Amino acid sequence: MNRVVCMELYKEIKSFFYLYLEKKDKRSLVLSKVLAILTNLTIILVPLIQKEVLSQIGNGEMKNHSLILLFIITIVGTVALVIDAILLNHISRLIRSKLQRSLLSTSLRHKVDIIDKKGPGAFMVSIFGDTEKATAFLKTNYFSAILKCISMMIVFIIACSWSYIFPLVIIPAYAVIILILRVLNKWHLHEFKLGRELVYKINPLVLEFLENNKSILGYANIEEYENNLFSLMKDRDQHFEKSELYMILSTLTVEVVKTLSTVIFFCLAINEIYLGRLSIASFIAMTSYLASIFSPITSMQSIYMSLNQYKMYKDRIASNIKDNLRTDLPAQMNIALKECSFAYQSEKILDNVSILIDKKISLVGTSGEGKTTLINLLFGENIPESGECLFGGLPVTTISKFYLFNKIKLYTQTQELFDEDLLFNICLNKKPLSTLIYQDKIRESIKLINALQGKIKSNVFSLNDNESEFIKLIFSEDEAMTNRELIMKSIGQLNEKVILDLAMMLVDRTYYIEERYDNLIKELEIEHLRGRKFGQKGSKISGGEKNRVCLARFLLSQNLEYFVLDEPFVHLDSISEQKCLEVLRKYLVGSKGIIISHKLNIIKELSDEIIVLQNGKITGAGGHEMLLKSNDLYHELYDKFLYSKQDSILEN
């Protein structure tokens, strides 16, 4: 790694990590540089004072102030070294913590490629593994390493003035070490990179192995399955073993050459002392210097390895944090897909689809007709190859993801449950309030946003804690730090309707109306689940109970203007389904949204309009009775639904 590359990498490190440092932490870095200067001065001065003291003794003199000075300088250097290590360790942990929060925040607010391609397990490796490795190099004081190189040059010149044997031993030793380390470092990084790639490949497979253990036990060729997994693990371990071996050899190379150099120097120095060409005082001083003369090699070796590992991990972390900016907030409340087309691996999923979501609209079609794809377009998870998905005239891909998911309430067919009790799974750590106090909180939030708007319009950008937290909540923490001007512009343009929406979102993220919660668990008949832990992913409750708990969470919010219902009653029997349908109808009065279900009785009872998708196109739209007469696919699907429902009744 040449000097130009190192300088470019240093600038990149500074721009990447300095974003996460507050003023006091930046002051700590300056203090660290001062401490580095003290430490390196100690390395130079201590042997010189030792030589002076020994020379005084040789001349029959003894000056106490020299010994006191030697003691003070040694203590100062030692204390500076300890404080420096503590400061750098604190900064490293601080940045690692902020990076981890940024990655988690990104996973909520943006689409993360590594989750889509390799699963949550690989992303967890990035959160906890990559951040650990990428920030580990911050524990080293690189300014000190540069000073150490300068200090050792000074030491080398001083020692050369005392005797020719010092350069005679040190120069060849340095040449041998640099040559061997260059080869070993290259091999180490190559093997480490291969091992790390296998970690990302193996971790999701291990998670699958653990989560799908019943299927593997009941249906799989277990021995073959395990052998394939263990073979990958063996390859991973072999790469890491080779990588570690090269690192050990690197360390041993320095130590072996250092030891041999010390022995050779000692033999040559004794001969020089015997011949009267070297004093004892100079010999002892050079011996002290010899102990530290190789420290630049150790430091530069550490820097080289750290910078390469940093680059490897930083690229992976940055790719998971960076995303298209989503700082817009819509001024109008209308959602529409306009002539949207989408293909997956050259297969057309949606073809020129246009929908205005101004009522309760149901999507009907056979499996694979693009209903789920349409939902992903709505939330900006997929981007249409042609056409637009707009919210208030803005592309949904530019709108704050927090705003989208709070404005359009999503009920998914995959029930997301936690190993906690009923209250937690519905309210997710929110605090209970009465209706009156809840409304007061909304008014307080409106005042906060109005005050923030006033500051922006007056070009006052000093924010209090509540205003900063508001910005970090609506946008991601990284965007709040790096795209401040765009965010401020977006907030400054908000109208009263959007301000009210944001105020309701702020309150809704922290509080719930206690009466609404009590009514929901009673109406959905899940009161008996109070006080029970649900198990991992709800493993200790039934499928129908999972449905109703998630439905209660979906309906708890006061802000249900827009919604998406994706297969809401998959695991419910006919009686429970009808009760839940009545609850849904009650709470969704006046709401607009998308409904997807294979149970056409739900479609019939909840919808204001039904849209039929066939071969990625809209082939019919209207009410239930009209489509029965005019759309062959809808008629066929409804007949099949009636037959399946009749069979289910007969079986029961």
Domain identity same for 193 and 100 = yes
Q: Residues 385, 472: one domain?
A: no
Token pair of 310, please? 């940093």
558 and 501 housed in the same domain: no
* Residue 272 sits in the same domain as residue 408: no
Predicted pLDDT of residue 332: 81
Residue 510 DSSP SS3: coil
Side-chain half-sphere exposure of 374, counting CA atoms within 13 A: 36
Question: Is-contact 476 102, C-beta < 8 A?
Answer: yes
Question: 227 and 258 share a domain?
Answer: yes
Same structural domain, 144 and 39: yes
User: Three-state SS for 357?
Assistant: coil
Largest distance between two CA atoms of the chain: 120
What is the separation of C-alpha 271 from the centre of its chain, rounded to a whole number of angstroms? Answer: 62
- Tokens 């991992």, residue located: 536
Residue 242 placed within a domain: yes
**Of 253, 243, 246, the residue nearest 312 (C-alpha):** 243
Torsion of CA 601, 517, 407, 329, to 10 degrees: 180
Dihedral sign for Cα atoms in the order 371, 409, 407, 360: positive
Cα–Cα distances (Å) from 20 to 67, 473, 481, in that order, read: 45, 17, 9
281 within 8 A of 51, measured Cβ to Cβ: yes
**Does residue 536 form part of some domain?**
yes
Rounded Cα distance, 347 and 207, in Å: 30
Cβ(606)–Cβ(595) below 8 Å: yes
Q: Are strands 511-513 and 562-566 parallel, antiparallel or unpaired?
A: unpaired
Residues 383 and 268 occupy one common structural domain: no
Please state, as a whole number, how many other Cβ atoms lie within 10 Å of the Cβ of residue 538: 19
Whether residues 545 and 574 fall in one domain: yes
Residue 538 lies in a domain: yes
CATH number for the domain that contains residue 645: 3.40.50.300
Instruction: Tell which of 295, 321, 347 closes a domain.
Output: 321
Task: Please give the structure tokens belonging to residue 419.
Answer: 């190993």
Output the pLDDT for position 136. Answer: 66
73 within some domain: yes
CA–CA gap between residue 281 and residue 540 (Å, rounded) = 79
pLDDT at 522: 94
Residues 568 and 599 in one domain: yes
What is the DSSP annotation of 232-285?
HHHHHHHHHHHHHHHHHHHHHHHHHHHHHHHHHHHHHHHHHHHTTSS-HHHHHH
Give residue 649's pLDDT.
47
Paired strand residues for 513: 433
CB neighbours of 441 closer than 8 A, spacing ≥ 6? 433, 507, 510, 511
C-beta atoms surrounding 119 within 10 Å: 16
Report phi then psi at 510, rounded to 5.
-115, -30
Provide the whole-model pTM.
0.67
Q: Is 293 found in the same domain as 355?
A: no
Question: Strands 347-356 and 360-364, how do they pair?
Answer: unpaired
Domain boundary among 288, 304, 321: 321
Does residue 516 belong to any structural domain of this protein? Answer: no
Between the alpha carbon of residue 58 and those of residues 55, 180, 468, the distances in Å are 5, 43, 69
pLDDT at residue 196 in the model? 82
> What one-character-per-residue DSSP string does 463-494 give?
--HHHHHHHHHHS-HHHHHH-HHHHHHHHHT-
- Does residue 525 fall inside a structural domain? no
How big is the chain by its Cα radius of gyration, in Å? 34
Contacts of 457 (CB under 8 A, 6+ apart): 492
pLDDT for residue 321: 58
Predicted confidence at residue 1, as pLDDT, reads 47
Residue 240 CB partners (closer than 8 Å, separation 6+) = 191, 192, 195
The 10 Å CB-count burial string (b at 16+, else e) for 614-629 is bebbbbbebebeebee
Question: Residue 70's closest CA among 84, 53, 87, 82?
Answer: 53
371 and 251 belong to one structural domain: no
Side-chain-facing half-sphere of 535: CA atoms under 13 Å: 9
Tokens for 435, please give them. 């209706």
3-state secondary structure of 172: helix
- Give the bridge partners for 362, in sequence order: 595, 610
Say how many domains are in the chain.
3
Residues comprising the chain, all counted: 652
**Spatial distance between the Cα atoms of 294 and 149, rounded to a whole number of angstroms:** 10
Report which secondary-structure segment, H or E, holds 491. Answer: helix 484-492
CB-based contacts of 393-397 (< 8 A; 24+ apart in sequence): 393/330, 393/331, 393/332, 393/334, 394/328, 394/330, 397/324, 397/326
Q: Which of 254, 287, 321 is the last residue of a domain?
A: 321
In the structure encoding, which two tokens stand for residue 425, read together? 């799974």
Beta-carbon count within 10 A of 244 CB = 14
Spell out a b/e string for 274-291, using b for 16 or more CB atoms within 10 Å of the CB, else e. eeeebbebbbbbbebbbe
For 541, counting Cβ atoms within 10 Å of its Cβ (0-12 exposed, 13-18 middle, 19+ buried), the class is: buried
Burial class (CB in 10 A: 0-12, 13-18, 19+), 333: middle
Whether residue 222 lies inside any domain: the answer is yes
The values of phi and psi at residue 535, to 5°, are 80, 165
The domain that holds 174 is classified in CATH as 1.20.1560.10
Helix count and strand count (H, E) for the chain: 26, 12
Residues 105 and 33 in one domain: yes
| Owning domain of residue 371 | 326-421+531-652
CA nearest 110: which of 381, 447, 308, 436? Answer: 381
CB atoms within 10 A of CB 308: 19
Are the C-beta atoms of 90 and 45 separated by less than 8 Å?
Answer: no
Residue 522 maps to a domain: no
CB contact burial 341-375 (16+ within 10 A = b; e otherwise): bbeeeeeebbbebebebeebbbbbbeeebbbbbbb
Residue 434's alpha-carbon distances to 395, 508, 516, 517, 571, in angstroms, are 37, 13, 9, 11, 33
Which of the 8 DSSP states describes residue 59?
A: T
Q: What single letter denotes the amino acid at residue 284?
A: I
Rounded average pLDDT per 10-residue block, the chain, 652 residues: 52 62 79 86 84 76 78 88 85 79 68 66 66 67 78 89 91 91 88 86 80 73 83 92 90 89 91 88 88 82 69 62 68 88 84 91 84 86 89 88 86 84 90 94 91 81 76 64 69 84 88 94 92 86 88 89 86 81 90 89 89 89 90 87 61 50
